[in-house]
Structures are given as structure tokens and as C-alpha cells.
Amino acid sequence: MVSRAIQNAFSKGFIGVHEDDTLSGCISLFKEKMPPVLVVLDSEGKYAGVISGRSADFDTRPDSECSPFYYQFS
């Protein structure tokens, strides 16, 4: 087992979506950007959860857009 500090293993940035974005738009993001997860934020910009590519249904529909953003912690 490798012993490393958490500070050397985590990322301060993430690709986020809003909880009212569409699933098909998020699927498009997984296909284009290939992130391990998308961070889901509520209407107040607070953490609501994550969605992984594995949990998404990859049967995309042409009716949607996802408004992604990249957030970098200071």
C-alpha cells in the first residue's frame, strides 16, 4: 500500500452541472470531456451530489442542453 497525503492526490477543480440540467446533456459532457464524475450543484450553487458516467443512461436524446461550468477552488 502506498502512503500519500490526501493533498497530493485530490483535484481542486471540477466540471459541474446544475440539478435542473438534462441527463442527455450531461451524457454529452461525459463523451466529450471524459471526466470521472460531474459535480451537481443546486440552485444556490451548493453541492448536491455527483453523477458518474457509469450511472448515466447512454441512450442520448437530441432534446437537451447541459450548461456545464468549470470551477477552480482558490
Angle at 11 (CA atoms; ends 47, 22), nearest 5 degrees: 40
Cα–Cα dist 50/45, whole Å: 13
Residue 54 has pLDDT above 90, yes or no: no
What pLDDT was estimated at residue 41? 93
Please give the distance of CA 51 from its chain centroid, rounded to a whole number. 6
User: Cell for 5?
Assistant: 497525503
Cα–Cα dist 16/67, whole Å: 9
Which one is predicted more confidently, 4 or 68? 4
Which one is predicted more confidently, 38 or 64? 38
Q: State how many domains the chain has.
A: 1
Domain hosting 46: range is 18-72
Q: Report the chain's mean pLDDT, rounded to a whole number.
A: 77
In a domain, 42, yes or no: yes
pLDDT in tens, 6-15: 888 777 788 9
Of 4-8, 36-40, 66-70, give the lowest mean pLDDT range.
Answer: 66-70
